[in-house]
């Protein structure tokens, strides 16, 4: 039986998620024009669904999205507000038709029909699942037509990880997403990759800049309006511009290799978050939730009916130098396979014998 998604408990003003999905056939790669269209659709459905695209990364065969899903507003959208959202979608033949129908229903006093039409759209708003579903379906339709193919484009249903809305977790996940092209060795600097939120922000995109301001405000536990965009950009840039740690006898540029990371961990016991995000990690894609120990354990209490036999939920991320990065539960497969790989490549050291690693 398919397990339900982990959603933010209660009714928070904002809930943050990391969503990821892969193309079903690795032989099918996204060209630059395909990535441009995917970014366009991300932005269109951001407006339509009433969510905020905090940051993102569109790669050749997969994508990452960090999404802010706000609480459904207490005051219903007016007809004009709703139609404005519908008309933000390009390539939809029903945009004008929706306005015509709704206007006609109101003029004729057919309010039940008008409300039914409104509800068809409102159920798709302020929802992680509806945003991702609409985005993936719309892009698949465009991609299949553009490339003369048919059938599903995505490997499976998208994965999602709940991210704590304040503190270090959101900034760490956002940086992990933005630096994806560096980890994949496509670029040495994320500023040179235009299909990520940070790259777009550097190019002057106001929406991308605002998303990163939300990230830094969450990290500093302040309101976004208390930071200027330039202040937020300067703070976020430290994840990429500050010199990283260096293993002895190595010259570090861009992403860390597993061997370099292993050398740092052997030497210091842990690795700084700004270098940790340069490594391939399963915590941010296959985990259920990421945040502080308090956040994870409070979440588990809400989920107790689902996991009656769990003693605790907060598991420290292996190898990271932080007291604020925990995940919900223990991943069944090694969440940092690069560590074992590096150990075998080095002195044959098993993970359990690496000095200073906290238990998972």
Higher pLDDT, 269 or 31: 31
Tokens of 222: 């302040």
Domain ranges in the chain are: 79-122, 247-360
Give the pLDDT of residue 128: 96
pLDDT tens digits, 20-32: 999 987 668 899 9
Q: What are phi and psi of 178, to 5 degrees?
A: -65, -30
Q: Can you tell me the mean pLDDT for 254-270? A: 72
Q: For position 135, what pLDDT does the model report?
A: 97
As a whole-number percent, the residues of the chain with pLDDT over 90 amount to 58
Reading across the β-sheet that carries 14-22, which strands appear in turn? 52-58, 62-70, 14-22, 159-163, 289-291, 326-328, 314-316
The confidence score (pLDDT) of residue 325 equals 93
Among 342, 131, 135, which residue's Cα sits nearest to residue 250?
Answer: 342
pLDDT in the model for residue 254: 53
Residue 244 has pLDDT above 60, yes or no: no
Tens digits of per-residue pLDDT, 168-195?
999 999 999 999 998 888 888 889 999 9
Q: List the helix and strand counts (H, then E) for the chain.
A: 15, 7
Backbone φ and ψ for 350, nearest 5 degrees, come out as -80, 155
Q: How many Cβ atoms sit within 10 Å of the Cβ of residue 305?
A: 6
Q: So what's the pLDDT on residue 120?
A: 95
Distance, CA of 47 to CA of 207 (rounded, Å):
11
| Residue-averaged pLDDT of the chain | 85
**For residues 262 and 342, is the Cβ–Cβ distance under 8 A?**
yes
Q: Tell me the mean pLDDT in the region 49-66.
A: 97
Q: How many CB atoms lie within 10 A of CB 121?
A: 17
Burial class (CB in 10 A: 0-12, 13-18, 19+), 242: exposed
- For the chain, how far is it from start to end, CA to CA, in angstroms? 27
Residue-wise pLDDT for 91-150, tens only, equals: 766 678 899 999 999 999 999 999 999 999 999 999 999 999 999 999 999 999 999 999
pLDDT value for 347: 39
**Average pLDDT rounded to a whole number, residues 236-245:** 74
Q: Is the pLDDT of residue 60 over 50?
A: yes
pLDDT of the residue at 217? 96
Instruction: Identify the DSSP state of 17.
Output: E
| The model scores a pTM over 0.85 | yes
Residues in CB range of 252: below 8 A, 6 or more apart: 244, 245, 246, 260
pLDDT tens for 278-321 read 888 888 988 889 999 999 989 988 887 776 666 667 888 888 88
Residue 357 has pLDDT above 50, yes or no: no
Strand bridging mode 289-291 / 159-163:
parallel
Instruction: Report the SS3 class of residue 15.
Output: strand
Q: Tell me, what's the pLDDT at 89? A: 93
Helix intervals (H) in the chain? 32-49, 79-86, 94-107, 111-122, 128-146, 168-178, 180-183, 197-202, 206-220, 229-241, 258-268, 273-276, 283-286, 293-302, 337-345
Contact of 274 with 241, CB cutoff 8 Å: no
User: What average pLDDT does range 243-263 have in this prediction?
Assistant: 57
- DSSP class of residue 226? G
At 316-339, the pLDDT tens digits run: 888 888 989 999 866 766 666 555
Helix (H) or strand (E) segment spanning residue 14: strand 14-22
How much is the pLDDT for 78?
97
């Amino acid at each position: 039986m398919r397990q339900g998604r982990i959603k933010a408990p209660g009714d928070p003003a904002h809930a943050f998620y990391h969503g990821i999905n892969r193309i079903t056939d690795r032989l099918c790669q996204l060209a630059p024009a395909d990535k441009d269209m995917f970014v366009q659709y991300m932005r269109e459905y951001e407006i339509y669904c009433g969510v905020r695209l905090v940051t993102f990364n569109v790669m050749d065969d997969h994508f990452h999205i960090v999404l802010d899903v706000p609480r459904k507003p207490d005051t219903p959208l007016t007809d004009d507000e709703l139609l404005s959202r519908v008309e933000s979608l390009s390539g939809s033949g029903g945009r004008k038709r929706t306005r015509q129908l709704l206007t006609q229903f109101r003029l004729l006093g057919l309010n039940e029909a008008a409300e039914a039409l409104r509800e068809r759209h409102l159920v798709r708003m302020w929802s992680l699942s509806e945003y991702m579903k609409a985005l993936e379906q719309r892009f698949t339709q465009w991609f299949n037509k553009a490339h003369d193919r048919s059938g599903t484009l995505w490997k499976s249903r998208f994965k999602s990880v709940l991210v704590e809305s304040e503190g270090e977790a959101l900034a760490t996940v956002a940086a992990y997403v933005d630096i994806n092209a560096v980890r994949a060795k496509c670029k040495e600097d994320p500023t040179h990759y235009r299909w990520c939120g940070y790259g777009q922000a550097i190019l002057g995109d106001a929406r991308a800049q605002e998303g990163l301001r939300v990230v830094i405000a969450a990290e500093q536990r302040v309101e976004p309006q208390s930071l200027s965009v330039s202040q937020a950009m300067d703070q976020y840039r430290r994840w990429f511009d500050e010199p990283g740690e260096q293993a002895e006898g190595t010259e570090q540029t861009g992403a860390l290799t597993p061997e370099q990371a292993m050398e740092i961990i052997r030497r210091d016991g842990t690795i700084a978050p700004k270098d940790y995000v340069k490594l391939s990690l399963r915590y941010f894609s296959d985990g259920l939730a990421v945040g502080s120990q308090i956040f994870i354990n409070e979440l588990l209490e809400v989920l107790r009916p689902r996991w009656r036999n769990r003693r605790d939920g907060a598991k420290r991320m292996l190898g990271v130098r932080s007291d604020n990065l925990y995940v919900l539960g223990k991943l069944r497969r090694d969440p940092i396979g690069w560590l074992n790989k590096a150990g075998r490549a080095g002195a044959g050291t098993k993970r359990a014998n690496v000095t200073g690693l906290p238990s998972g």
